Amino acid sequence: MKFLENTFILAVAGLVLCGSVNEVKAQALTSTQVDSLVTKTLTTFNVPGIAVGIVKDGKLIHAKGYGVRSINSTAQVDENTLFGIASNTKAFTAAALGILIDQGKITWDTKVTDIIPEFELYDAYVTQEFTIRDLLTHRSGLGLGAGDLMIFPDANTTTLPQLIHNLRYLKKTSSFRSKFDYDNLLYIVAGEIVARVSKMSYEDFLEQKILEPLAMQASAASVYRLKNKDNIIEGHVPYEGKLLAVGTEFSTLSNAAGGIYTNINDMSKWVLAQINQGRYGANPEKQLFSTRIHRNMWTPQTILMWRSDYKNNFSSYGLGWFLQDVNGYFEASHTGGLIGIVSKVTILPELKLGIIVFTNQQSGEAFTAVTNTILDGYLGVKGKDRIDENHKQKIAYEKEAAEITRKVNTDLTQQVKSKGEVMLKGIEGKYKDPWFGEVSIEAVKSGYYFKSKNSPKLQGMMSFYKGNTFVVKWNDRSLLADAFATFALSHEAKPAGFKMEAISPLTDFSFDFQDLDFTRLNDK
């Protein structure tokens, strides 16, 4: 890995502490303009509900909800409506570790095996050298979303000990510390570090050491730990021109990677603490974590080749935060996504500005349009229609994906109509992947039926496609993740195993089908 020069790290840290030299003729959006912006966004991107918070100069100056919590209800979103923030939880997990570092119990460079002796990755050297810092920086050598099917898309039956054990079976796609590939499982391991060092559960530590001091009274480390669910959203997925309500189901195993539920009022307190470098309170006179820890979290660790909507000179990932400069200002941000929910938090500390956008539909273009339009006002950017440009981008992506899936579906239909010979038969039986576990394929009247043992939502019909490939269509259409299953043959030309691949390029990366390698189990 190419380590950053110390002078560059100090220069970036200086941006956070010293303020910008830029003079900007900014004209912030009024509350009425924000209302108009969000209302148009709801309609354009077919989002039922959005909540927006703007923090400026130490105060929450805009906190408002728009639309409805669920398409099955007329209940309105407001500033107290609870949303899942998904991967925006990662910054809280990094902060939890930072608190333990302030207490002198660990360092960022403590070896993971010193705390979790059974931790093991694909390579003995990597396992030996892997640090707490490495858990947080998405540079492990594992591929994008590696192993996420152990925790996604539903309450998978995989336990924490099983997950930690199964990490050793995930194959590397790059050299250690050489490349950014977003990871969720290692944040779950980071949560276990918090638990073992503090002698408390991760959830208890997070709530007692971060949420309670910040008076985030309505929030919790998991949807299942919320004290009051009277004002909570339901997630929604667009499918064939309509919205499907998908509830709030989530794997508690994943809390350290994406479990927090909160609202605009509570989240603004977290944003203020970040702008104040860990300080909070009326003055603010109290310290959640030290300035040194905060500076560490906002120091680049992994370099990115990142496309920005603004002029920028660097893009990177820190400890739980994406870091870049936008039009000369330092920005720390993060997004989060679960099925049916996405969120974005953006902080420009030099402007003492924070923008929070929560949605109950999985349109990243929606939160980007809202965030960037508000940001444009503070940066003095003129003449940009962020709703239009994000809508055009969305249409382009969807057109490309629709063409791919349309062709596959056309081929499947022609195969059925022609009653052509199925070139590969006898695929029924049980198969096993080292980390995902067992699946069964059963012969039924209309073809074959795929069923996962550990992930209940991953079941559906399999149809012959071409050659040695079948298509799996999941019963739960909200997953948007139909997949190819391509079989390998034994020397006797019988199905011996198979690999999978998502059909649509828009399939969420956490459906890491490409990492699966199923081997047929011997019939008993």
pLDDT at 501 over 60: yes
Please write the tens of the pLDDT for every residue from 78-87.
999 999 999 9
Q: In a 10 Å sphere around its CB, with 0-12 CB exposed, 13-18 middle and 19+ buried, how is residue 286 labelled? A: middle
pLDDT for 9 beyond 60: no
- Cα–Cα distance, 200 to 198 (Å, whole number): 5
| Residue 281 burial by Cβ neighbours in a 10 Å radius (0-12, 13-18, 19+) | middle
pLDDT of residue 21: 38
pLDDT at 146 over 90: yes
6 has pLDDT over 90: no
The answer on pLDDT for 5 being more than 70 is no
Q: How far is CA 500 from the centre of its chain?
A: 22
Identify which has the larger pLDDT, 249 or 216: 216
Q: Higher confidence at residue 175 or residue 494?
A: 175
Return the exposure string of 237-273: e unless at least 16 CB atoms fall within 10 Å of the residue's CB, then b.
bbeeeebbbbebebbebbbbbbbbbbbbbbbbbbbbb
What is the mean pLDDT of the segment spanning 274-287?
95
Q: 25: pLDDT confidence band, cut at 50, 70 and 90?
A: low
pLDDT for res 129? 98
Q: What is the pLDDT of residue 419?
A: 61
pLDDT in tens, 31-70: 999 999 999 999 999 999 999 999 999 999 999 999 999 9
Q: Is the dihedral of CA 193, 195, 199, 204 positive or negative?
A: positive
Overall average pLDDT of the 236-258 stretch: 91
Which has more pLDDT, 513 or 25? 513
Q: What is the pLDDT, as a whole number, of residue 422?
A: 67
Whether 306 shows a pLDDT value over 90: the answer reads no
DSSP string of 24-75, one letter each residue = ----PPPHHHHHHHHHHHHHHTT-SEEEEEEEETTEEEEEEEEEBS-TT--P
Question: What would the two tokens of residue 476 be?
Answer: 């739960």
Q: Residue 170's beta-bridge partner residues?
A: none
Q: What is the mean pLDDT of residues 359-375?
A: 97
The pLDDT of residue 413 = 81
> Does residue 417 carry a pLDDT above 70?
no
Tell me the per-residue pLDDT of 393-415, one tens digit each, with 9 for 90 and over.
999 999 999 999 999 988 888 77
pLDDT at position 156 over 80: no
Average pLDDT over residues 485-504: 93
Cis peptide before 495 (omega within 30 of 0): no
419 or 244: which leads in pLDDT: 244
pLDDT at 336 over 90: yes
Whether 344 and 365 have beta carbons less than 8 Å apart is answered as no
Beta strands 302-303 and 315-317: pairing type? antiparallel
Mean pLDDT over 175-184 rounds to 97
Mean pLDDT of the chain: 92
- The model's pTM is 0.92
